[in-house]
Chain A
Amino acid sequence: MDLDPEGIFRDDSDEDEDNVQEREANKEMVVYLVDASPKMFTPATTQDNEKQDTHFHTIVSCITESLKTQIIGRSYDEVAICFLNTKEKKNLQDSAGVYVYNVGDREELDRPTAKLIKDFSSIEDSFMSTIGSRYGITSGSRENTLYNALWVAQALLRKGSVKTVSKRILIFTNEDDPFGTITGAVKTDMIRTTVQRAKDAQDLGLSIELLPLSRPDEQFDMSLFYADLIGLDGDEITEYLPSAGVRLEDMTNQLRKRIMKKRRVKTLSFAITNDVCIEVNTYALVRPTTPGTITWLDSLSNLPLKAERSFICNDTGALLQDAQTRFQMYNDTIVKFSVHELSEVKRVASHHLRLLGFKPLDCLKDYHNLRPSTFIYPSDQRIFGSTCVFVALHSSMLRLGRFALAFYGNPTRPQLVALVAQEEVTSSGGQFEPPGMHMIYLPYSDDIRYPEEVHVTYDDAPRATDEQIKKASNLFKRIDLKNFSACQFANPALQRHYGILEALALGEDEMPDIKDETLPDEEGLSRPGVVKAIEEFKTSVYGENYDQEEAEAAAGKASRGDASKKRKEITDAAAQISAAYDWAELADNGKLKQMTAAELKSYLTAHDLPVSGKKEVLVSRILTHLGK
Chain B
Amino acid sequence: MARNREVVILLLDVGPSMHGVLQEVKNICLTLVHKKLVYNRSDEVGIVLFGTKGTCNELAKELGGYKHVTVTRDIKVVDEGTAQALQNLPLGSAPVLDSIVVGLDMVMRKFGNTKGKRRLCLITGAQDLLRDPPEGTKEEQVDTIADMLKKHSIKLECIIFREPGVHHNAVMEENDRLLYQFRNRSVAKVVQVDSPTSLLGALKTRNVLPVTVFRGDLEVSSNFKIKVWVYKKTAEEKFPTLKKYSDMAPPSDKFASHEVKVDYEYKSVVEPDKVVPPDQRIKGYLYGPQVVPVSTAEWEAVKFKPEKGVKLLGFTDRSNVPRHHFMKDVCLFIPEPGNIKAALAVSAIARAMHQMNKVAIVRCVWRQGQGNVALGVLTPNISSVNNVQDSFYFNVLPFAEDIREFQFRSFSSLPSSSQPTEEQQEAADNLVKMLDLAPPGREVLKPEFTPNPMLERFYSYLDLKSKQPDANVPPLERSLRRITEPDPDVIGQQTQLIQNLGKAFELKENPKKKKARTQDILAYAGAGDQAKSVEEPSVEKDRLLENTHPPTENVGAIRDSNPVQDFEAMLAKRSSSTWVQKAIEDMQNYTAALLQKSRDGSNYQKALECFAALRKACIIEQEPQEFNEFLTKIYERLKEGDAAKFFQLLSSKNISLISKEEAPDSDVTEDMAKSFFLKREKASQ
**Chain B residues positioned under 8 Å from A267 (CB to CB):** 521
**A407 touching B437, Cβ below 8 Å:** no
Closest chain A residue, CB of each to CB of B510: A382
- Determine the distance from Cα of A318 to Cα of B263 in the docked complex, in whole angstroms: 12
Tell me whether B388 is interfacial, beta carbon within 8 Å.
Answer: yes
A311 at the interface (CB under 8 A from B): yes
- When the two chains form their complex, are residues A534 and B386 in contact, meaning their CB atoms are under 8 A apart? no
Cα-based distance from A292 to B290 in the complex (angstroms): 13
Q: Given A299-B280, A350-B529, A487 and B268 touching (CB < 8 A)?
A: no
Given contacts A414-B484, A457-B186, A489-B400, is CB(A358)–CB(B437) below 8 Å? Answer: yes
* Among candidates A283, A436, A449, residue contacting B233 with C-beta atoms closer than 8 Å: A449
**Are B327 and A312 closer than 8 Å at their CB atoms?**
no
Q: Is B671 an interface residue (CB 8 A)?
A: no
List B residues 408-452 near A (Cβ within 8 Å). 408-412, 414-421, 424-425, 427-429, 431-433, 435-438, 443-452
Whether a CB of chain A sits under 8 angstroms from the CB of B351 is yes
Closest to A309 in B: B264
**Residue of A293, A313, A351 most packed against chain B (CB within 10 A):** A313
Q: Which residues on the B side are within 8 Å of A262 (C-beta)?
A: 404, 406-407
- Contact string, B238-276, partner A, CB cutoff 8 A, digits 1/0? 011011111111000100111111111111111010001
Identify which of B245, B256, B506 contacts A336 (C-beta below 8 A).
B245
Q: What is the interface residue range for chain A against chain B?
A: 35 or more
Contacts of B324 in A (CB 8 A): 285-286, 373, 375, 420, 422, 438, 440
Tell me, rounded to whole Å, the shortest Cβ–Cβ distance linking A140 to chain B.
43
A231 contacts the other chain (CB 8 A): no
**Could you list 22 examples of A-B contacts with CB < 8 Å?**
A75-B289, A273-B502, A314-B257, A325-B244, A332-B41, A335-B465, A342-B242, A352-B524, A355-B486, A366-B395, A383-B508, A389-B420, A395-B411, A399-B429, A443-B329, A446-B205, A449-B234, A489-B399, A496-B304, A505-B288, A520-B314, A521-B314
**What 1/0 mask marks residues of chain A from 365 to 376 whose CB sits below 8 Å from any chain B CB?**
011111111010
Write the chain B residue with the least CB distance to A256: B401
In the complex the two chains form, what is the Cα distance from A354 to B280 in whole Å? 52
**Could you tell me the dominant secondary structure of chain A's interface residues?**
mixed
- B-side contacts of A520, CB under 8 Å: 219, 311-314, 363
> Any chain B CB within 8 A of the CB of A347?
yes
B99-107, B127-135, B338-346, B677-685 - interface stretch = B338-346
Q: How far is the CA of A475 from the CA of B219 in the complex (A)?
A: 14
Cα–Cα, bound, A350→B532 (Å): 10
CB-CB contacts below 8 Å: B98-130 with A: none
B428 touches A298 (CB 8 A): no
A623 located at the interface, meaning its Cβ lies under 8 Å from any Cβ of chain B in the complex: no
Contacts of A227 in B (CB 8 A): none
Q: Given A296-B281, A320-B246, A516-B306, is A283 in contact with B406 using a C-beta cutoff of 8 Å?
A: yes
Q: Please state if A496 and B303 are interface contacts (CB–CB under 8 Å).
A: yes
Please give, as numbers and ranges, the residues of chain B lying within 8 Å of A357 by CB-CB distance. 435-437, 444-445, 486, 490
Chain A nearest CB, measured from B145 CB (Å): 16
B80 (CB) vs chain A CBs: closest residue: A331
Contact A299 B281 (CB under 8 A): yes
| A42 vs B80: C-alpha distance when bound (angstroms) | 91
CB < 8 Å: which of A335, A407, A482 contacts B483?
A: A407
CB of A295 within 8 A of CB of B291, answer yes
How far in angstroms is the closest Cβ of chain B from A543?
Answer: 8
Q: Are B577 and A350 in contact (CB under 8 A)?
A: yes
Q: Which of B201, B315, B397, B436 is close to A481, meaning CB atoms less than 8 Å apart?
A: B315
Please report which residues of chain A, range 325-372, place their CB below 8 angstroms from some CB of chain B when the two chains form the complex.
Answer: 325-337, 341-342, 344-352, 354-360, 363-364, 366-372
Q: Determine whether A468 belongs to the interface, using a CB cutoff of 8 Å to chain B.
A: yes
> A372 near B327 (CB under 8 angstroms)?
yes
**Alpha-carbon gap, A323 to B306, bound state (A):** 44
Question: Which residues of B, 311-343, contact A by the 8 Å Cβ criterion?
Answer: 311-317, 320-330, 332, 334, 337-338, 340-341, 343
Q: Which residue of A lies closest to B446 (CB)?
A: A363
Query: Does B390 have its Cβ within 8 Å of any Cβ on chain A?
Result: yes
Q: Are B427 and A392 in contact (CB under 8 A)?
A: yes
- Is B373 within 8 A of A291, CB to CB? no
Residues of A within 8 A of B185 (CB): 458
Q: A472-518: which residues lie under 8 A (CB-CB) from chain B? A: 472-473, 475-476, 479-494, 496-497, 500-502, 504-505, 511, 514, 516, 518
Give the interface centre of B38, B232, B427, B431 by most chain A CB atoms within 10 Å.
B431
Query: Besides A366-B381, A461-B388, 7 other CB < 8 A contacts?
Result: A283-B406, A305-B281, A383-B509, A392-B420, A449-B210, A501-B292, A516-B306
Assess whether B288 is in contact with A472, with CB atoms less than 8 Å apart. Answer: no
In the complex the two chains form, what is the Cα distance from A472 to B350 in whole Å? 9
Q: Is B282 an interface residue (CB 8 A)?
A: yes
Q: Smallest CB-CB separation from B220: which chain A residue?
A: A534
C-alpha spacing A239/B28, complex, angstroms: 69
Taking a contact as CB atoms under 8 Å apart, the answer to whether A350 and B268 are in contact is: no
CB <8 Å contact, B526 and A344: yes
Flag if A298 contacts B395 (CB, 8 Å). Answer: no
Tell me the count of chain B residues lying within 8 A, CB to CB, of chain A: 228
Please give, as numbers and ranges, the residues of chain B lying within 8 Å of A516 by CB-CB distance: 306, 373
> Which of A313, A330, A452 is the one whose CB lies under 8 Å from B462?
A330
> Does B664 make an interface contact (CB < 8 A)?
no
**With contacts A113-B290, A311-B261, A541-B345 known, is A370 near B236, CB below 8 A?**
yes
Question: A288 touching B454 by the CB < 8 A rule?
Answer: no
State whether A14 touches B257 (Cβ < 8 A): no
Going nearest first, the 8 A-B pairs with the smallest beta carbon separation are A451-B231, A464-B348, A445-B201, A326-B242, A269-B522, A434-B408, A472-B352, A392-B420
Q: Which of A2, A292, A309, A447 sits near B285, CB closer than 8 Å?
A: A292
A462 at the interface (CB under 8 A from B): yes
Docked Cα-Cα span, A107 to B123, in Å, equals 75
Q: Is B469 an interface residue (CB 8 A)?
A: yes
- Would you call A255 an interface residue if the criterion is a C-beta within 8 Å of the partner chain's C-beta atoms? yes
Complex CA–CA separation, A111 to B272 (angstroms):
30
> Do A354 and B245 have beta carbons less than 8 Å apart?
no
Asked whether A383 lies within 8 Å of B507 as measured between CB atoms, the reply is yes
Per the bound structure, the CA–CA distance linking A597 and B158 in Å amounts to: 46
* Alpha-carbon distance A409/B201, docked complex (angstroms): 19
- Report which of A298, A318, A451 forms a contact with B248, defined as CB distance below 8 A: A318
A103 vs B502: C-alpha distance in the bound complex, in angstroms?
64
CB-defined contacts of B224 to chain A, threshold 8 Å: 534-535, 537-538
How distant is the Cα of A450 from the Cα of B244 in the complex, in angstroms?
Answer: 34
Q: Which of B348, B381, B436, B501 has the most CB of A within 10 A?
A: B348
Q: Is B383 an interface residue (CB 8 A)?
A: yes
Q: Is B527 an interface residue (CB 8 A)?
A: yes
Take A275-B548, A392-B420, A500-B303 as given contacts and tell me if A481 and B523 are in contact as well, using a CB distance cutoff of 8 Å: no
Closest Cβ–Cβ distance, residue A451 to chain B (whole Å): 3
With CB as the reference atom, state the residue of chain B lying closest to A115: B290
Q: Provided the pairs A345-B457, A497-B303 are in contact, do residues A311 and B526 lie with their beta carbons within 8 angstroms?
A: no
B56 CB, nearest partner CB in chain A, Å: 26
Cβ contact of B505, chosen from A276, A420, A547, cutoff 8 A: A276
Bound: A275/B506 CA distance, A: 10
Verify B435–A358 contact, CB threshold 8 A.
yes
Which of B354-362, B586-594, B599-607 lies on the face that meets chain A? B354-362
Interface window among A17-25, A155-163, A242-250: A17-25
A284-B404, A328-B38 known; A112 vs B288 contact (CB < 8 Å) = yes
